[in-house]
Structure 1
Amino acid sequence: MAHLRLAWVLSGRGWADCIVSDHQAEAEATASYITTAPEDLLTAVTRLIVGETESRAQFEAEPTAFRWIFYREGTNVWIRLLELANGSVHDNRGTEIWSTQQNIDVVARAVIRCFDEVVREYGETTYRGKWGEHFPRAELEALRTAWREHRGTWAASSTPTNP
């Protein structure tokens, strides 16, 4: 059975920890508000949903960086999470700290669920106060809309459900 879980935890003013896990392993990527990390992650997954075969997002942890690399083939998505000494280095200079292969529907639902939980837990006003930027509402809704429009076209191994 497919399993993918993401959690976005505001750990301090302008800092968040993104914990990601599947049935085999778990990893943590730290993000600073100096970049648009949550927006970039949501947008990267949206790009996969609408048919791109590769997309990326990067979290800056000053100076460490965490790079998400998504590859899609059909309904399968391979996710690699790299830790890099700094954000300007090539992928091959990073250390893979987590990877998984999942169905595109599972990936979309996990990311949507993650940010739905964030807004339920913090609310948009508290989120802005803790993160330092607005909650990524537009990017979350763009992902949700793309997922709803495309989920019927996937030959998923399980019936899609609402996140």
Structure 2
Amino acid sequence: MTAVTRLIVGETECRAQFEAEPTAFRWSFYREGTDVWIRLLQLARGSDHDNTGTEIWSTQQNIDAVARAVIRCFDEVAREYGESAYRGKWGEHFPRTELEALRTAWREHRGDWAAPWTPSNP
């Protein structure tokens, strides 16, 4: 969620990694305008370089669609499991702060993506 929030507020490249010891799954995000390229790599170890990983999925999406999908996903997890059961299932507190930061950034910036291109608004 933090990576997607960073994209929304203007970063052009960021990553997130999930450890599935010893394997790791690394998400790379690249944004240009309203487009986001997403690449998911599986790595033998979390410290490995991207070049050693196997790409298991990639896509190009609109930043709005990416933000909405992540928000919907975590909203659904909260509804299905509840925030207290989330910790029992995944060993971590539900990322409520990160979810609300993403939701806020999306609401504040989504109008930016609908603005027509002009020389003063490239």
Query: Above 0.5 in TM-score?
Result: yes
Question: What fraction of aligned residue pairs are identical, expressed as a percent?
Answer: 88
1:66-117 deviation per Cα after TM superposition (whole angstroms, max 9, x unaligned) = 0000000000000000000101011011010000000000000000000000
Alignment of 1:77-88 (within 5 A): 77-88=36-47
Residue in structure 2 matching 1:124, options 79, 83, 98: 83
- AA matched with 1:95: T
Q: Which has the higher strand share?
A: 1
**Shift in Å at residue 130 of structure 1?**
1.3
Query: Once superposed, which parts of structure 1, at least 4 consecutive aligned residues long, lie more than 4 Å away?
Result: none
Candidates 54, 65, 89, aligned match of 2:13: 54
When normalised by structure 1's length, the TM-score is 0.69
State the partner residue of 1:142.
101
2:33 aligned residue (51, 58, 74): 74
Residue 96 (structure 1) aligns with: 55
Task: Please give the secondary structure, in 2, of the residue aligned with 1:127.
Answer: helix
Contact between 1:82 and 1:96, CA under 8 Å: does it hold in 2? yes
Cα shift at 1:155: 3.0
Q: Which residue of 2 aligns with 1:153?
A: 112
- Aligned pair count reads 115
- Report the aligned-residue RMSD: 0.9
For 1:151 and 1:108, locate their aligned partners in 2 and report how far apart those are by CA, in whole Å.
9
Identify unmatched segments of 5+ residues in structure 1: 1-41, 157-163
Tell me the CA shift for residue 133 of structure 1: 1.3
The structure with more radius of gyration: 2
